[in-house]
A and B are shown apart, each in its own frame.
Chain A
């Protein structure tokens, strides 16, 4: 009895469907690969190592040309102003400080500035230092400056692991939650269920498609960061991939919960933003999460994206091994396992 033809594997075919849909959709490729690269280029350039902001000082009539010359030699920009426009320039921040000439020859020069502005306080310090030195002040204690531009301690080194974590999070959310709801809206979910397809095969294939994409996404960003910004991975690539898989799995589980009941793509987009936006802000992707008040630190520390950023940074910057990422992995599991069970429990197949 000859079998009419060989039966393909459902898991392979379902996974191929996902991968083909992704690979043949240029938009999806852009969001997975192009967007994080553009974001890191933009942020990398914005926070590139550069000299201090130029200090601009307004000089009211009566400030001597000698004094102005001294400041200009000290790399201070001096802007001659009349009394009428001076106050407006100061308020607008176009000058950091106003130099007001002495009322009488014996009186002091006045620095007029707003002490609540950081750059104004800096301007006062620099102007004062230059003027005092020109007047003969010396520094009794010898000091030496050492500027840090080493790879590993720059802003871009801090940014790339965070960006990687954020990108894997949104990849999981879109690649699972949105995909499921989109299938539900198109009635494809219903159609597949009308065939003798096993539900777990479908779930498994969605995860498998992510599994194939994650190493590609990680490799792409890590390689890009290395070539463009010389960002190094201090720790092991295996630990980095483990973090990537664990984080993605945790967010995929959250995505299943988010998608479990949603009947249309608008609802699921809203829910995804509800989940992701607070973490974009609070979890320290772009700036250290420790900037937030101490009172909410325990909450921030427990967020899954915080755990993922911390784990990624521990591996990439501090060179941590598996021992150093146990805590982040535990937090990710703490979110992922219950989310997955609840998601399956309430999943709306029809």
Chain B
């Protein structure tokens, strides 16, 4: 690795954020054709402003269809924005594409890598694109695929394939790494391996921009998250800040006994809201109450007392710490997993 590049990068670090975008917008034109129904234009990303600092791990958190992938693909220079401005490492895609490609690593949401290639052959292919590729042994060690170096890509498990995709993104030792839903569809163990991989890259000083709809992933990995919905930025902050901004830092979930479920209205939002320490109450369509509370041990006692007074039989009760999921629900009124 040429020393000069590091020194330059270190200098840039003082002045330029990793990613800046202003008024980013993407509209997909509706299709018109003789034989198909005209479809209306779709606004996928609607005026996004982001600043991502170097060394940061930044997450775009939102449900499917919220515009996360469109946003990162514009940042990656793979999709032309309808409007808005993007700066990566102080450069722009239009004028410095080749230079940026050397300095940015990309793992797309799903790439079907050539199945008949061996792991080693695929990495060699990607190494051929970069001026100063990382040594094969380092790449294989990073993604724990040393033993699979001679295996066909098609024979790898989902987790191994995803690690290989990330290895392809790491070949040029990028300054910014984009990961679009890196653990979607992976089992918990593979997911943790990917998280470890991201942590290792960050330890070497890299900036990570990732999208996810797993709140646990965002909380675990990200210094800051942007909550996006319908192509708009809803809130930006560190996971702990966002959670701390909720009315309650814990959630009580309770369900009444089946026979009283049908008249769940025996409890009302107002009544529950009046209970000490309960800040907010929601009733889901399935009859599950979730209460945003502070000091859960006292809140539970107060809620149980209310139930006793009303003569309701408790079916199930649990408490948990508030998560980014609750932040998302509080901000948008919807769950992350909803379409």
Contacts and interface: CB of A to CB of B under 8 A. Distances in A.
Q: What DSSP secondary structure best describes chain A's contact surface? A: loop
B110 A8 contact: no
B125 A5 contact: no
Interface in B131-183: 131-136, 152, 168, 171-172
Nearest to A350: B78
B124 interface: yes
Contacts, number: 92
A186 B112 contact: yes
A197 B3 CA distance: 24
A92 interface: no
Interface residues of A, number: 29
A194 B121 contact: no
Q: What DSSP secondary structure best describes chain B's contact surface? A: loop
A16 interface: yes
Contact count band on B? 35 or more
Given A8-B127, A350-B79, A194 B113 contact: no
Given A13-B128, A195-B130, A350-B79, A4 B114 contact: no
B106 to A, nearest CB: 4
A20 B112 contact: no
Nearest to A192: B129
A1 B3 contact: yes
A339 interface: no
Given A1-B3, A187-B111, A350-B79, A9 B128 contact: yes
B2 A17 contact: no
A336 to B, nearest CB: 28
A3 interface: yes
Interface of B: 1-3, 76-79, 98, 101-102, 106, 108, 110-114, 116-117, 121, 124-136, 152, 168, 171-172
Given A20-B114, A187-B112, 4 more contacts: A12-B128, A13-B128, A186-B112, A195-B129
Closest 7 CB pairs of A and B: A196-B101, A186-B112, A194-B106, A24-B116, A8-B128, A13-B128, A10-B128
16 contacts: A3-B132, A4-B135, A8-B124, A10-B129, A12-B128, A20-B117, A21-B117, A24-B116, A187-B110, A188-B111, A188-B113, A190-B108, A195-B129, A196-B129, A196-B172, A350-B79
